[in-house]
């Protein structure tokens, strides 16, 4: 795919998400706004969901790629979401539970992220990530304790 075409489709898609729920965005409206043909779109993407996959990966894949600083990654994802609430909710409210799980749960702890969305992204991000860190640290500490105990002393 030419870089120009890819950038044009992704940017137009993001602009549309700013004002339109994902489930109301059609390929026809997207290509009309973008000034491309249907053949061009379908040459590169199977459907609008594949475009969503690529767009989400471009926006959030960089955070999931690095496991070394998970707290920083989660914090960055949440701040990025909070900067674009219309886009987030236009995707969130349009996806089925299965699709939502596929996108969100692979990026971060599922209940943590859903709580953040359900609270209208008003939770203190740094405090929430610190609590999540404490939870993980406690879990890891407990798991290590269990692994070093002799069998039968659980």
Instruction: Give per-residue pLDDT as tens, 61-79.
Output: 777 665 567 778 778 888 8
Instruction: Give per-residue pLDDT as tens, 75-108.
Output: 888 888 899 999 988 988 887 766 666 665 555 4
Contacts of 92 (CB under 8 A, 6+ apart): 100, 117
pTM above 0.85, yes or no: no
For domain 3-148, give the CATH superfamily.
Tetracycline Repressor, domain 2 (1.10.357.10)
Helices (H) and strands (E) in the chain, counts: 9, 0
Q: CA 111 to CA 154: how far, in whole Å?
A: 29
Q: CA 124 to CA 51: how far, in whole Å?
A: 31
Instruction: Give per-residue pLDDT as tens, 122-134.
Output: 888 888 888 777 7
Residue 95 contacts residue 25 (beta carbons within 8 Å): no
Q: CA 63 to CA 57: how far, in whole Å?
A: 9
Give the SS3 label for residue 113: helix
Mean pLDDT of the chain: 79
Residue 71 contacts residue 133 (beta carbons within 8 Å): yes
């Amino acid at each position: 795919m030419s870089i120009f075409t890819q950038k044009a489709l992704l940017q137009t898609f993001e602009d549309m998400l700013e004002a339109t729920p994902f489930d109301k965005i059609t390929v026809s409206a997207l290509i009309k706004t973008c000034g491309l043909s249907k053949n061009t779109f379908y040459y590169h993407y199977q459907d609008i969901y594949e475009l969503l996959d690529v767009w989400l990966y471009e926006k959030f894949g960089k955070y999931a790629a690095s496991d070394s600083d998970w707290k920083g990654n989660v914090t960055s994802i949440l701040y990025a979401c909070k900067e674009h609430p219309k886009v987030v909710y236009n995707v969130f409210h349009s996806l089925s539970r299965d699709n939502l799980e596929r996108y969100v749960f692979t990026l971060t702890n599922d209940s943590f992220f859903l709580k953040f969305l359900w609270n209208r992204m008003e939770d203190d991000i740094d405090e929430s990530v610190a609590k999540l860190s404490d939870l993980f640290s406690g879990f890891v500490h407990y798991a290590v304790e269990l692994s070093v105990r002799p069998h039968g002393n659980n």
